[in-house]
């Protein structure tokens, strides 16, 4: 199995995103954190998103998602993390498009209702955003809480999916 690491940048309606892969498996999908980039880039070889099959397929499916034509992703992934983290991240994939659940709901689904804070921390470390939809997890009180890509992006994604009724205000993060 090819364990070479690759990374590439793609554009999205929410700004630049970073794709990371190991061989033919997606291992990371991140939003720019600041106006000047991701901070530290991953180790590995930088390539064009068109050069690697997994990047082409991820870009294609993300484009369909942003156009409202795709609700469930079919991308081969690889997670690096503890068993607990992997259980939480895999549970994210089961949250239906256009719906939200709470951190407590996730904790109950993995048979660990006392682990709400740990679920929140793990959700915040999700390495494959959008595809493993951590943006669909909200507070038990219905409030939008924490999102590694920023609350504005979380709100936009939930509105895009129909989970929120009110359109978010356009902000500078939409400017490419």
Domain boundaries, the chain: 5-66, 83-161
What pLDDT does residue 21 have?
A: 96
Please give the positions annotated as active site: 134
**Residues 6 or more apart from 35 whose CB is under 8 A from it?**
none
Residue 1: predicted pLDDT:
61
Class of domain 83-161: mainly alpha
Q: Judge whether residue 34 has pLDDT over 70.
A: no
pLDDT of residue 35: 52
pLDDT at 128 over 90: yes
Domain 5-66 and domain 83-161 have a common topology: no
Statement: residue 18 has pLDDT above 70: yes
Tell me the average pLDDT across 32-51: 72
Identify the CATH class of 5-66: alpha beta
Nearest to 76 by CA among 161, 1, 176, 174: 1
Instruction: Give residue 174's pLDDT.
Output: 42
Residue 38 has pLDDT above 60, yes or no: no
């Amino acid at each position: 199995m090819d364990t070479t690491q690759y990374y590439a940048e793609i554009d999205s309606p929410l700004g630049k995103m970073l794709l990371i892969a190991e061989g033919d498996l997606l291992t990371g999908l991140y939003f720019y954190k600041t106006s000047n980039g991701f901070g530290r880039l991953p180790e590995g070889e930088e390539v064009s998103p068109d050069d690697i099959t997994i990047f082409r397929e991820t870009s294609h499916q993300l484009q369909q998602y942003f156009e409202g034509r795709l609700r469930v992703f079919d991308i081969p992934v690889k997670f690096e993390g503890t068993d607990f983290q992997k259980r939480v991240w895999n549970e994210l994939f089961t949250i239906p498009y256009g719906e939200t659940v709470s951190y407590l709901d996730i904790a109950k689904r993995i048979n660990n209702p006392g682990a709400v804070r740990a679920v929140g921390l793990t959700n915040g470390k999700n390495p494959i955003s959008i595809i493993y939809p951590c943006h669909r997890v909200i507070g038990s009180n219905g409030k939008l809480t924490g999102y590694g890509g920023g609350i504005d992006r979380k709100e936009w994604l939930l509105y895009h999916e129909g989970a929120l009724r009110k359109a978010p205000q356009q902000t500078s993060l939409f400017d490419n």
